[in-house]
Structure 1
């Protein structure tokens, strides 16, 4: 009987203490526009008939030792996704559990990477790894161990996880992964952001498509401010934000010239920025060397778009930026804008999420030093939908949209810019 019991126990799966993701899970290989299954030794993701990114290429191969290689070039998003297995109950693993694997970064000089774990409908948690990943180029196989809590947020239910791991690449690169498993107890040796403080911790933008231009743009903006000062021009107005604010230099250029150039205004908008990225820029000189009367700030929609962050945490990041403005420009009055509508229809996920953020923003304004303004009514149709003429991609403004924005700011800025 004793020998029979031991033999029976030996046949039991190890899921109580460890999940080996090489068993019972299919590997899907995805491009932004296509998907394939890695059922054999190698696969290339097929292109659609009319690809939006015709020169992108995503392929994967499986080695005899179980290593899976992801090769990608000129792609928006390439993924190795472990799926189609029996959903895992990882709630018992959260206290001390780890996600562990061996990673070989063959090439990432022009690419980026993230690790993801799915946690149900409209729920995906990710750890960015661009900066850390690039330090591993050419160093061979490295063992990484992340605490499962790197992928957990308060209120998440990990009782039926059907996407236990995704390796995501952007741009161009080659990554190899092996020995992928989830342990119930383990020692985490690889750092990850604390989601509770991510929006308030200053950081450069960690995206492969931005890394080549983000710091040079920051230096160019410092030079622009310096040029105003050396020429004796007073900068009375500053805009702070993300790609929507950066758009004043492109689609919004005509409206900018008509409405704001007379104030020697400076647009400090950087595509992709989240609250922590703007905070880094402010702490590294972008508000120095001038004394504006008014500052217009809109930031936070990329906290939603990138990680669907708890609205209270995004608002904490906005508050942290307001504190930094007050510290560096105490004389300036701030026009705090509600996040613009995002998503074509009122019930779109991103729209609803930004609405929750906007509902919390009035509490940050006192009506004197900080004034809150919501322009949604000027940008939406009467039924709440978005017009392609104003927001062509349901996020960024057209020239017509920038004209509406500029005209909507005339009255509040007249008051804020008054002596």
Structure 2
């Protein structure tokens, strides 16, 4: 967290990604340097974080001193013992906190990834969270959800260890499948932001 605070004083990111290990490990993968680094991204992932930890970080200065155009959020899969409703509410609370700090930023919520080699209760729970999010975030301005499960679940319902070696974290190939849709959305949002800026008369 303190390392992140230091970075906010040094860097001027266009995009901030905040969340758990799935965000944290992204910066260690080839796709980070190839796709995300050129978009001026800052990575605020912390392994093991739950929704309440991310909320605490935002309330304690992590988005102060910076004005990113887009904030990306992925958190919730580590909230063991929480119901889908509680997790979705926790995510919504984070979105509201981000909005209070950054009134003009786009907020992109990555839906929870599937987990486990075979269909299982935790995977069902994550799916329920994603369904609830669509309702809970509907009507919030400049907030979008993006799915990251495309190509991860095979026709027979299993997940390949090539994509998720431990059926929770992503491999290089898994990151490509899961995060390319996010990259496409980010390039679109940054383009729209530039267009809006061009249309706004300068003072």
TM-score norm. by structure 2 comes to: 0.89
TM-superposed CA distance for 1:405, in Å, is 2.8
- Cα offset, 1:286, TM superposition: 1.0
Higher-Rg structure is 1
2:156 aligned to which of 346, 370, 383: 383
1:392 matched to 2:165? The reply is yes
- Stretches of 4+ aligned residues off by more than 4 angstroms: none
Q: Distance in 1 between matches of 2:114 and 2:10?
A: 35
Q: CA offsets, 1:361-419, max 9 Å, x none?
A: 11114485111122222322122211101111111001111222332223211221122
1:243 aligns with 2:42: no
The number of residue pairs the alignment matches comes to: 191
Corresponding residue for 1:354?
Answer: 126
1:258 aligns with 2:37: no
* Structure 2 unaligned spans of 5+: 195-203
Q: Residue 236 of structure 1 contacts residue 264 of structure 1 at CA under 8 Å; is this kept in 2?
A: yes
Preserved contact between residue 298 and residue 339 of structure 1 (Cα < 8 Å) = yes
CA RMSD of aligned residues (A): 1.5
* Long gaps (5+) in structure 1: 1-217, 229-233
SS in 2 for 1:290: coil
Greater strand proportion: 1
Instruction: State the Cα deviation string for residues 69-107 of structure 1 (Å, max 9, x = none).
Output: xxxxxxxxxxxxxxxxxxxxxxxxxxxxxxxxxxxxxxx
The match for 2:10 among 227, 237, 254 is 227
Q: Could you state the TM-score of these two structures normalised by the residue count of structure 1? A: 0.44
Which one of 100, 115, 127 corresponds to residue 342 of structure 1? Answer: 115
Secondary structure at 2:53 match in 1: helix
Note the C-alpha offset of 1:321. 0.2
Distance in 2 between the 1:325 and 1:292 partners?
11
Conserved 8 A contact 1:343-1:395:
yes
The structure that is helix-richer by fraction is: 2
**Cα pair 2:36 2:183 within 8 Å, conserved:** no
Distance in 2 (CA, whole Å) between partners of 1:278 and 1:400 is 27
